[in-house]
Structure 1
Amino acid sequence: MSETGTGVPATARRAWLGLAVLILPVLLVSMDMSVLYLAMPTLTAHLDPDATQQLWILDIYGFLIAGLLITMGNLGDRIGRRNILLAGACVFGLASTLAAFAPSAGVLIAARALMGVGGATLLPSSLALISSLFPDPRRRAAAIGVWTAFFAGGSAVGPLIGGMLLHQFWWGAVFLINLPVLLVLLALGPFVLPEHRAAGRGPLDLLSVAMSIGGILPVVYAVKQAAAEGIDALTVLIGVVGVVVLVAFVRRQRHLTEPLLDLSLFRRGLFSVAIGSSTAGMMSLAAMSYLTSVYLQSVTGRDVLSAALLGIPAAAVVFVCSMGGARVARRLGARTAFACALGLAAVGNLMLLGLGVDGGIGWYIAGSTVAGLGYGTMFTLVSEVSVASVSPERAGSAVGISETSFELGNGLGLSLLGSIAALVFRSGGHYAPTLGETVMRAGGDAGLVRAARGSFVDGMHVATTVGAVLLASMAVIAIFAGRGRAAREQESAVEATTAS
C-alpha cells in the first residue's frame, strides 16, 4: 500500500507545535463526554427532560462516536486525515452552537448526536497524524503519551470546567466554550499539520457502517428503556434486533478482505486485556463521575462550583498518572501494571460506600483520588499496548479499536450502571423518575426528600460496587490471561516501546 503526504514538513519544532494543536480536539471530545454531569440538574430545571431523555442527552454523543470512529478513521485514510480533521471541527462547532441554544430536550439530543458525528472524525485523525509528525519511535511514543494524558485528563476535568461555567453563566455555556478552541484549530491546522492519505484502498464498506450503528443503538435503547419504564414486549424485541444485527456484523467482518473491524487482533492476549481494561475502566469512571456529581448537588446541596472544586484532586491525579503510565509498565511489566491499575480503580470505587445522606465528603475525595491513580495509569497503557502489540501496518486498526472501546465504555457506563442506580432508586419508594424531579415536586415534604436522597445513595452504592467488581474481574484476567510465548513477546514489545 502506498502512502501520499502533502502539506507541512514535520520539523522538530513544528512537530511539537502540531501536537499542541492536535491536543485541542482531543481535549474537547473527551471533555464533552463528562461536561454535562454537573449540568444535568440545571438542564432538568430548564428543559424538563424525562428520565429516558436525560440518559439520551448524556450518552447519544458517546455511542455515535463509538459507532463511527473506525469508519471515520478509514475515511480519513482515503480523503486525507487533515481534511477530515478540519471538516469534523466545523461540524463539531455547528453542533455545539445548536446545543447551546437548544429550546427543548429533543433538539439537545439531536445536537449531541451531531456532535458525536463530528467528534468521531477528530479522535482517529488526530492520533493518526502523530505518526506523520513524529517518525522517530521514541518521540512518537512520548507524543502518544501526551495525547493520551489529555484524552484521559479531559474526561476528568470536564465536570470541573462545567461547574465553573455554570457558576457564572447559563447552561449553554458548557457548549459554547468549544467554539474558541475550534477556531484556533481551524486557524493553525492548515499551517502546522501535514496532510496524509493512503493510496490503493478499497471502497468503504457502507453496509458494515450501517450494521455497526444499527446494532449498538437498539441494544442501548432497550437497556435504558427497561430501566426507565420497565420491561415490555417492544423493549425486548428492540434489544433482540440489536443483538442479531451485531452478530451479523461480526460474521460479515470475518469474510471481508478489508473489514471495518479487524477481529484477528483480539486473538492477541495482551491486546484483548488492553481493550477489556479500557472498556471496564470507562464504564466505571463514567458511572462514578455522573452519580457522584448528582450526589454532590442533589443530596449534599452544594452548588455546581463547590461540587466541581471537590473534583480537582482526582482530575489532577488522572492527568499526572496518564503521563507516567509508560514508566509503570517498564518497571512492573504490562500485565502487572494493568492489574495494579485496575485494582486501584476498584478500591477507589468501593471507598465510595462511605458516602451517605448526612456526610462522607472525605470518602468521596479519597475514593475518587485513589480511583484516579488507577484510571490515569490504565488509560495510557491502553494506547501504548494497542500500538506496540501489533505490527506497524496494523497499528491503525488497533488504535481505532482502542478508541472505540473508550467511547463504548463511557456510553455503557451511563446506560447500564446508570440504569442499575435508577432501578434501585425507583424501587425505594413512589418517587419521580429522577432525584432532581423528586426534590422539585416534593412541595416542602422534608421526609420525602430525605427518603428519596437515601434511595439515590443506595443506588449509587450498588452501581459503583458493580463497577468495582468489573474492574477487579478484569484485573484477575490481566494477571492470568496470555501467559504463553506470544503474550510474553507482546509484553516485551510494549516494554521496549515505552523505554526511554
Structure 2
Amino acid sequence: MPSVPPPTGTAPAADRKTWFGLAVLMLPVLLVSMDFSVLYLAMPTITAALDPSATQQLWILDIYGFLIAGLLITMGNLGDRIGRRRILLCGAGVFGGASVLAAFSPGAGALIAARALMGVGGATLMPASLALIANMFKRSHERARAIGVWTSAFAGGAAIGPVLGGLLLHHYWWGVVFLINVPVLAVLFAAGPFVLPEYRSARTGRFDVVGVALSLLGILPAVYAVKALATEGVSPLAATAGLVGIAMFAVFLRHEARTRDPLLDLNLFRNPTVSVCLAIALVGMMAEGGVAYLSNVYLQSVLGHDVLAAALAGLPMAVTIAVFSVVADRIARLVGKRYALAGSLVVAATANLGFIALGTTSSLLVYMALSALAGIGYGVQFSLVTDVVVGAVPPEQSGAASGISETCFELGTALGLALFGSLATAVFLSRGGDSGVTGSLGETLVRADAMSTGGDALATAAREAFVDGLHATTLVSGLLLAVLSIVTVLAMRRSEHRAEAVVEV
C-alpha cells in the first residue's frame, strides 16, 4: 500500500471506532440499493400469489424509487436540522417495519403501500449515512476513501439484489426478499448508537416547508413521466405529468432563489466543479442505467440465457465498480481529480462504444469484459462526484448536498430508461418493420414461436433489430460520456484557476 501523505491541517485521523462506524453505515446503503433490484426476479412469483393488474405491477416496482427520488433533498435537509444519526435510525425503523408489512401483504394494494413506506424510509438512509461520513472523517483523503466504500456498498447491493432474490425464491416464498432486511437493520440499531456520532446544524432558520412541497410537485411528476415514457411510450398522462413537473420545478427554483432559508442552496451551482460533477452523476447514471436495462434483455431474449445467468453476468461490472470506488481517491491523488474524473468518463465511453461489437451470437465473455471495463469508469466517477459535492459545502449542509447528489443519480437512472429505452425501441421498430416486427422484442418472439411457418425468420429479424437498437444506444451514450470528459477538463481547469487567483490575492 503506498504511503499516505501527511494531512495539511490538524484534523485528527479516524480511529478504529470510526472505521467500524463506516462498516455499520454500509448496512442501510446496501439494503436500499438491493431493494431497487431485488424484485426483478420476484415479480413473477408475486404476480402469481397476489394477482396484481398490469398497472399495479408497475407501481409495485416503481413507487419505491419514486418516493426515494422525491424525498432525498428534503430528508437530507431535515437530517441537518434534527440530527443525522436520529433521522438515520428513525428511517431504518420505518424501512424495517415497512419491509415486514411488505412481506406479509395480503394483496397488491397493501404491497404498493408498504413499498411506498419503504421509499420514505430509504430516502432518509442515503443522505443521512453520507452526511455522517463527512462528520466522522475529518481528513479529506480519509473522507474520500470512506465515500468510496459507501459507493461500493451501493453498487454491490444493486448487483446482489437479483442474485440473492433468485436464490431465496428457489427455496422460500416471495415475502422473504423483504424479510432479509430485518436482521441487517437489527445490527444497525444495536451498534449505531455506540459507534455513530450525532450531528445537527447550528442554524436556527425556518424549515422551508414551501420548498419541500414544490420539490415534491416537481420531482415526482417528472420521475413518473420519464418512467411512463420508458415503459408505455408517449401518452397524454405522461406528457401532462412531465409538463407539470417541469413547471413546478421552475417555480421551486424561483422560490429557492428568493427565500431566506432555502431547502436547496443555489449558490452551490455557481461552483463549476460542483456543477460538472452533478452533470457527471446525471449523464453517467443515464448511460449505466439505460445500457444495463437493455443488456438484460439482450442477454435473455437475444443470447438465450435465463434470468439468473443474466444476473450473474452483471457481477463483473458490480465488482469493478466496487473496487474502483474504493481506490478512486488514490487515483485522484496520483493524477488529480480533474484528470481522474475525465479519464473515468473516457474509460466508460470506450466500454459503451465497445458494445457495438456485440451481435446475436456473441460470447458472454465479451459482454462481461466490456461491462467490467465500464464498471472501472463508473466506479471512479461516482465515488469522486459524491466526494466533491459533499466536500464543497460546510459540514452543516452536507446532508442537503448529499441529497442533491443522490437525486441526480436517481433522475439519471430514470432518464436513462426513458430516453435510451425509447431510442432503442424506435430503432428496433424501424429496422425490423419490413420483416413484420411489431411491439417489443418479447412480444415478437412469442408471436414468432406460435407461427407454423416463417417464425424462425421473424425471430432472427427481431433479434437483429434489437441489437441494432442496442448499438444506437451505446453509441449515443458513449459519445455523451466522451463529450462530458472534455467539458470536465475545461470546467474544472477554470475552477482551479479561480482558486489559485484567490490564494494569490
Taking structure 1 as the reference length, the TM-score comes to 0.85
Alignment correspondent of 2:4:
none
Provide the C-alpha distance between the structure 2 equivalents of 1:106 and 1:431, rounded to a whole number of angstroms.
Answer: 35
Do residues 112 (structure 1) and 115 (structure 2) align?
Answer: yes
Do residues 399 (structure 1) and 402 (structure 2) align?
Answer: yes
* Secondary structure of 2:200 counterpart: strand
Alignment correspondent of 1:489:
499
Identity %, equivalent residues: 57
Q: Report 1:195-344 matches (<5 A).
A: 195-226=198-229, 228-344=231-347
Q: Is the 8 A contact 2:131 2:398 kept in 1?
A: no
Say which of 80, 85, 90 aligns to 1:87. Answer: 90
Would the alpha carbon gap of residues 80 and 271 (structure 1) be closer, same or farther in structure 2, given more than 3 Å must change?
Answer: same
Q: Offset at 1:207?
A: 1.9
Provide the C-alpha distance between the structure 1 equivalents of 2:81 and 2:403, rounded to a whole number of angstroms.
Answer: 15
Q: Offset at 1:46?
A: 7.0
Would the alpha carbon gap of residues 484 and 191 (structure 1) be closer, same or farther in structure 2, given more than 3 Å must change?
Answer: closer
Would the alpha carbon gap of residues 335 and 137 (structure 1) be closer, same or farther in structure 2, given more than 3 Å must change?
Answer: closer
Alignment correspondent of 1:476:
486
Provide the C-alpha distance between the structure 2 equivalents of 1:68 and 1:308, rounded to a whole number of angstroms.
Answer: 29
Q: Is the 8 A contact 1:223 1:415 kept in 2?
A: yes
Q: Which segment drifts farther, 133-142 or 186-195?
A: 133-142
Q: Offset at 1:382?
A: 0.9
Could you tell me which amino acid in structure 1 is paired with residue 494 of structure 2? G
Provide the C-alpha distance between the structure 1 equivalents of 2:502 and 2:371, rounded to a whole number of angstroms.
Answer: 32
Would the alpha carbon gap of residues 349 and 141 (structure 1) be closer, same or farther in structure 2, given more than 3 Å must change?
Answer: closer
Q: Offset at 1:62?
A: 2.9
Q: Is the 8 A contact 1:96 1:111 kept in 2?
A: yes
Alignment correspondent of 2:475:
465
Would the alpha carbon gap of residues 437 and 97 (structure 1) be closer, same or farther in structure 2, given more than 3 Å must change?
Answer: farther
Would the alpha carbon gap of residues 392 and 225 (structure 1) be closer, same or farther in structure 2, given more than 3 Å must change?
Answer: closer
Provide the C-alpha distance between the structure 2 equivalents of 1:490 and 1:162, rounded to a whole number of angstroms.
Answer: 51
Provide the C-alpha distance between the structure 1 equivalents of 2:154 and 2:501, rounded to a whole number of angstroms.
Answer: 24
Provide the C-alpha distance between the structure 2 equivalents of 1:221 and 1:416, rounded to a whole number of angstroms.
Answer: 13
Task: For residues 347-377 of structure 1, give each alpha carbon's deviation from its aligned partner in whole angstroms, at most 9, with x where no partner exists.
Answer: 2122222333333423311210110110111
Would the alpha carbon gap of residues 485 and 471 (structure 1) be closer, same or farther in structure 2, given more than 3 Å must change?
Answer: closer
Provide the C-alpha distance between the structure 2 equivalents of 1:157 and 1:172, rounded to a whole number of angstroms.
Answer: 17
Q: Offset at 1:135?
A: 4.1
Q: Is the 8 A contact 1:41 1:294 kept in 2?
A: no
- Structure 2, unmatched stretches of 5+, are 1-12
Q: Report 1:7-86 matches (<5 A).
A: 12-37=15-40, 56-86=59-89
Q: Which has the larger radius of gyration?
A: 2
Would the alpha carbon gap of residues 368 and 464 (structure 1) be closer, same or farther in structure 2, given more than 3 Å must change?
Answer: same
Q: Is the 8 A contact 2:80 2:399 kept in 1?
A: no
Alignment correspondent of 1:5:
none
* Secondary structure of 2:360 counterpart: coil
Q: Which segment drifts farther, 236-245 or 462-471?
A: 462-471
Taking structure 2 as the reference length, the TM-score comes to 0.84
Provide the C-alpha distance between the structure 1 equivalents of 2:166 and 2:267, rounded to a whole number of angstroms.
Answer: 43
Q: Which segment drifts farther, 14-23 or 448-457?
A: 448-457
Q: Report 1:43-192 matches (<5 A).
A: 56-100=59-103, 108-169=111-172, 171-192=174-195
Could you tell me which amino acid in structure 1 is paired with residue 94 of structure 2? V
Q: CA RMSD in A?
A: 3.3
Q: Is the 8 A contact 1:388 1:490 kept in 2?
A: no
Would the alpha carbon gap of residues 230 and 397 (structure 1) be closer, same or farther in structure 2, given more than 3 Å must change?
Answer: closer
Provide the C-alpha distance between the structure 1 equivalents of 2:108 and 2:293, rounded to a whole number of angstroms.
Answer: 19
Would the alpha carbon gap of residues 28 and 491 (structure 1) be closer, same or farther in structure 2, given more than 3 Å must change?
Answer: farther
Would the alpha carbon gap of residues 137 and 373 (structure 1) be closer, same or farther in structure 2, given more than 3 Å must change?
Answer: closer
Q: Which segment drifts farther, 149-158 or 72-81?
A: 149-158
Q: Offset at 1:74?
A: 1.9
Task: For residues 223-247 of structure 1, give each alpha carbon's deviation from its aligned partner in whole angstroms, at most 9, with x where no partner exists.
Answer: 4444555545554333222211111
Would the alpha carbon gap of residues 368 and 165 (structure 1) be closer, same or farther in structure 2, given more than 3 Å must change?
Answer: farther
Would the alpha carbon gap of residues 224 and 166 (structure 1) be closer, same or farther in structure 2, given more than 3 Å must change?
Answer: same
